[in-house]
Amino acid sequence: MTTVLALETSDIRFPTSTSLDGSDAMNLDPDYSTAYVRIVTDAADGHEGHGFVFTIGRGNDVQVAAIQALSAHLVGRNVEDLLDNMGATWREFVWDSQLRWLGPEKGVMHMAIGAVVNALWDLKAKRAGLPLWQLLGRMTPEQIVELIDFRYLTDALTPDEALAILRAAVPGRAEREAQLLSDGYPAYTTTPGWLGYSDEKLVRLAKEAVADGFSMIKLKVGADLHDDIRRMRLARETVGPDIRIGTDANQRWGVDEAIEWMSHLAEFDVAWIEEPTSPDDILAHAAIARGVAPIPVATGEHMANRIMFKQFLQADALQIVQIDATRVGGVNENIAILLLAAKFGVPVCPHAGGVGLCEAVQHLSMFDFVAVSATSEGRVIEFVDHLHEHFVTPVVMRGGAYQAPTAPGAGTEMHAASRAQYAFGSADSAASMLASHV
């Protein structure tokens, strides 16, 4: 029997606001941060479970406190019980009625649960000696369905329907695994498109993206219409007609504004408009989707839980599902969302970037390819070339594609040296120094 010895948390912040990497119409000066969790057991194998919530600076300490509040659920517990029954483990966290009051199933407390759940999956995958995408992709349909809490889902997706989707994808699993291992999974890049970048930098980075093999780039929009038109024209002239260009408004608009604004950008052949308005606003997204068609609406990185994704799909309020590895309740809930997307026939193009989001979310898209949707048609994972060096198993890009990870685990482990160097409040943390100047 293995026992959980400790749930260790840390507040890690990178001073990204100094370079305006990550700047958009709503987030002007992010300091990319993680509320980090490390699960330590008494097993002789030395395996640890690592996970985190991505935040953009202030409040990362609150997120850490929320993760710490879950230690009573973990410390002293039997590791095999937890890991062998990940569906029950998830429900135990999410249905703690006192903690649930703080959401329910949204915001700081729900993201904390997601971080711990993801750390447990990391531990489970390391113990199995498999990368997470392969561990998940080799589970039986019945085992996968057992991971999911169908409460509030059955009006759109029943356990039987989920089973049918998963069973239909069993044939060809091995071939698709092999295909991932040889070709990887397609990506697009947001690196050229931050609002804080000059036109020259936009053009240079867009050229580099094409040279690196990406078939799609994305530009932040929504701060100033004339700037957006100029930048979109520049980008389109730079990449030519065959590279797709997505746009991302980061929740800046209301319904009428979104439709009006996009009418001025449509001529540049827009791949999608992302987060046109509040991530809570299903009905507004549905109205915007009708108003900007045929430009598809993409959203999800700030969507709180599977219940919101369900409704967006039911209402035809999005045409592209953007899951995020650390916003919802971890791997289990993201699998529910992948199944919902498959049920509705909508492609999943994950949000990534930040700190470690690329490392984490690639496993979910690859699992989806192997065992759920069984296709990568119309699907790309976001890529931002940023902060990967801090991870023990950083993403590997080749020809504009994520190369399938082969190291055991969920990709979520950060180097101990990075965790120490960027620990908020430590003497040499640059983010701490920045904060002291506010």
Question: Which residues are known catalytic residues?
Answer: 220, 351
Which of the residues 168 through 187 are near a second copy (CB under 8 A)? none
Strand partners, 391: 414
105 is an interface residue for a second copy by CB under 8 A: yes
Pick the closer one to a second copy by CB: 55 or 412.
55
Among 91, 100, 173, 264, binds a second copy (CB under 8 A): 100
Among 3, 151, 398, 433, binds a second copy (CB under 8 A): 151
Q: Most distant CA pair in the chain: distance in Å?
A: 63
Pick the closer one to a second copy by CB: 18 or 140.
18
280 is an interface residue for a second copy by CB under 8 A: yes
Contact (CB, 8 A) for 353 and 380: no
Q: Token pair for residue 253?
A: 């608009």
Q: How many Cβ atoms are within 10 Å of 179's Cβ, its own excluded?
A: 16
Q: 3-state class of 382 per DSSP?
A: strand
Q: Token pair for residue 289?
A: 């989707």
Cβ partners under 8 Å of residue 320, min gap 6: 272, 296, 297, 298, 299, 346, 347, 348, 349
Smallest distance, a second copy to C-beta of residue 253, A? 9
34 is an interface residue for a second copy by CB under 8 A: no
29 is an interface residue for a second copy by CB under 8 A: yes
The owner of tokens 């709503």 is: 26
Smallest distance, a second copy to C-beta of residue 26, A? 6
Smallest distance, a second copy to C-beta of residue 72, A? 7
One symbol per residue from 187 to 226: x for binding a second copy (CB under 8 A), - otherwise; what is it? ----------------------------------------
Pick the closer one to a second copy by CB: 56 or 180.
56
Smallest distance, a second copy to C-beta of residue 330, A? 16
Pick the closer one to a second copy by CB: 112 or 209.
112
In 352-396, which ranges are E strands? 381-383
433 is an interface residue for a second copy by CB under 8 A: no
Which residue in 262, 258, 274, 197 sits closest to 231, CA to CA? Answer: 197
Q: Which helix (H) or strand (E) holds 130?
A: none
One symbol per residue from 245 to 274: x for binding a second copy (CB under 8 A), - otherwise; what is it? ------x--xxx------------------
Stretch that binds a second copy, among 26-34, 341-349, 387-395, 407-415 (CB under 8 A): 26-34
Which of the residues 66 through 85 are near a second copy (CB under 8 A)? 66, 69, 72
Stretch that binds a second copy, among 24-32, 166-174, 196-204, 260-268 (CB under 8 A): 24-32
Contact (CB, 8 A) for 111 and 327: yes
Give per-residue burial for 387-426: e unless 16+ CB within 10 Å, then b: bbebbebbbebeebbbbbbeebbbbbbbeeebbeebbbee
Which of the residues 288 through 307 are near a second copy (CB under 8 A)? 302, 304-305, 307
**# residues near a second copy by CB under 8 A:** 63
432 is an interface residue for a second copy by CB under 8 A: no
Cβ partners under 8 Å of residue 24, min gap 6: 194, 195, 220, 222, 248, 250
Cα–Cα distance between 143 and 145 in angstroms, integer? 6
Cα–Cα distance between 62 and 109 in angstroms, integer? 10
Residues at the site binding a second copy, with contacts judged by CB under 8 A:
26-31, 55-59, 61-63, 65-66, 69, 72, 96-112, 151-155, 251, 254-256, 277-284, 287, 302, 304-305, 307-308, 310-311, 314-315, 438
